[in-house]
Amino acid sequence: MKRLVKIGEYETGLKNNICDVPGVLVGHVTIMDDVNKTGVTAILPHSGNLFREKVVAASDVFNGFGKSIGLVQLDELGTIETPILLSNALSASKVANSLISYMLKDNKDIGVTTSTVNPLVLECNDGSINQTQNRVITENDVFDAINNASDDFLEGGVGAGTGMKCNGFKGGIGSSSRIIKIKDKEYVLGVLVNSNYGASNGSELIFNGRKLGGLIKDYNLAQEEDKGSIVIVIATNAPLDNRQLKRIAKRAELGVARTGSYGGNGSGDIMVAFSTENKVSHSPNYMEENVIRFSDSYLNTFFRATVDATEEAILNSMLHAKELRSYNGTLYKSLMEYRSLFEDLLEK
């Protein structure tokens, strides 16, 4: 897929999305009719049994206006043991229940002869576009999103991003990646966002350093303050521990701020970061282990890559999204309809 906008100086991976991190897969199920405009997105840190081989992880909650499930154990134990599922706010518990069913299918001992499972579900409120009270996401949708996951995927108004808006325009799923070169080694960091925040008339929007708010004169959505939420998932194949991953997760909010957000009261800003290295066995046959991890002295490169990739992922979520009319008739335009305001900032 052609790169649309270049943020920062680091190279991107081949796909310029989170699946440039080896082993990471993403799948969508999109539900679209006259009133239901929603879906589910699955992020798999690896294609194996995540309960048996967990990945090191951390989260950061910049603003906790949200209904995410699984963050408490994630931060306590520093691991992820299920696919990461994204959905809408009122479906989070339903999606978590389906995710538990999925995990029980291949792990019959969960809750019987071994520990229970910690489903990880992150959400944004799609109620401006989707009739969210219908809660139409089914167990089959969750299973399909996981089973259909691949190393490439669509962006924009798809999956969990179907009913999302961003700065008054159509938002949704966006992604970007960065190649990190340190001495003689090369690593990948990838970011995926579900964007659903910002003032409703685009008044705060910054595009690649240019303040577009004052240039958007004819957008007819009423003024509404910054609210709605954003979920950010960061992946890397660098050997980082959960403390370092938490530090990286914190930096993602700086990428959000670059697009004009100030983290409004009604905006839940949730970040999760994981490493595909140093997997954690559910049933280790050892008492001690030697783990290789990065020195903190080299983290600045990861911090910068996270901020740049987050900003680009957010812009990608809007650039790839097509206009959509909500269940109550409100039209959310595509940012690309205003490309004359930032054409010179796009990649040729």
> Which residues are known to be catalytic?
229, 267, 269
| The token pair that represents 155 in the structure block | 């962006």
Query: Which residue from 43, 150, 31, 33 is spatially nearest to 91, judged by alpha carbons?
Result: 31
Cα separation, 257 vs 114, whole angstroms: 43
Return all residues near 185 (Cβ < 8 A) that are at least 6 apart.
Answer: none
Q: Is 270 helix (H, G, I), strand (E, B) or coil?
A: strand
Cα separation, 17 vs 317, whole angstroms: 11
Q: How many residues in total does the chain contain? A: 348
Residue with tokens 């559910």: 282
User: Alpha-carbon torsion 7, 246, 100, 91, what sign?
Assistant: negative
From the CB of residue 248, how many other CB atoms can be counted at a distance below 10 Å? Answer: 24
Q: Are 276 and 137 in contact (CB under 8 A)?
A: no
Q: Is 286 helix (H, G, I), strand (E, B) or coil?
A: coil
Cα separation, 30 vs 92, whole angstroms: 16
